[in-house]
Amino acid sequence: MSEEKPHEMSHDLHHNLQVILQENQRLAEQLDPAAAAIIPLIQHANRVFVVGAGRTGLALKAAAMRLMHLGLTVFVVGETTTPAIAAGDLLLAGSGSGTTSTIVKAAEKAQAVGAQVVAISTTRESPLAALATQVVVLPAAQKQDHGGTISQQYAGSLFEQAVLLLTDAIFQTLWALDGTPAQELWKRHANLE
């Protein structure tokens, strides 16, 4: 690695932040209208389960936390206290490629018991999409798209960021519909930290 002076690094950092923000803005402008269909699915689900691998999984864990703040019963797949999914539940599954084996297996199990599946992906043509009640396509690069035509960022960064932003927008929409004051939501925030 070459060493740069602090003012040069500051310029590079600012430039890269602008690239990231611009890519997310373009993606938001191209958002799949089907994304709004997630709202009633979440509202009517008995329980919500989230599943994703790697950074996508971290973004979905953040979504689970916000949905819990709304008073929903939410579980993160893979945690030791996560119960069995059942009919009437919703699995919110994120995978850029739609081929991640653990995510596809979770969707298969959810569908087999009568739960609904929402897939957040970069494609409608995948094993995960085929299992989904609803597919939301985020027009982002997949992890192994190294050409830089969709995103200048490394691997699936744009997709992972978009999952976080989309699920935050879903939370904001649900919160507006719910109308519970922020002070009431805050009472559900973790207090054993």
Domain ranges, ordered by start, for the chain: 6-178
**pLDDT (tens digit, 0 to 9) for every residue of the chain, 193 residues total?**
566 677 788 899 999 999 999 999 999 999 988 899 999 999 999 999 999 999 999 999 999 999 999 999 999 999 999 999 999 999 999 999 999 999 999 999 999 999 999 999 999 999 999 999 999 999 987 666 656 677 888 878 999 999 999 999 999 999 999 999 999 999 899 888 7
| 105 vs 160: CA distance, rounded Å | 20
Confidence (pLDDT) at 148: 65
The whole-number pLDDT of residue 5 equals 74
DSSP string, 10-61: HHHHHHHHHHHHHHHHHHHHT--GGGGGHHHHHHH-SSEEEEE-HHHHHHHH
pLDDT at residue 164 in the model: 97
Q: Considering the candidates 3, 160, 184, 193, report the single residue annotated as catalytic.
A: 160
Q: Quick one: pLDDT at residue 118?
A: 98
Give residue 90's pLDDT: 98
The highest-level CATH class for domain 6-178 is alpha beta
Q: Phi and psi at residue 72, in whole multiples of 5°?
A: -80, 155
- The answer to whether 125 is a known catalytic residue is no
- Among 135, 172, 159, smallest CA distance to 60 is for 159
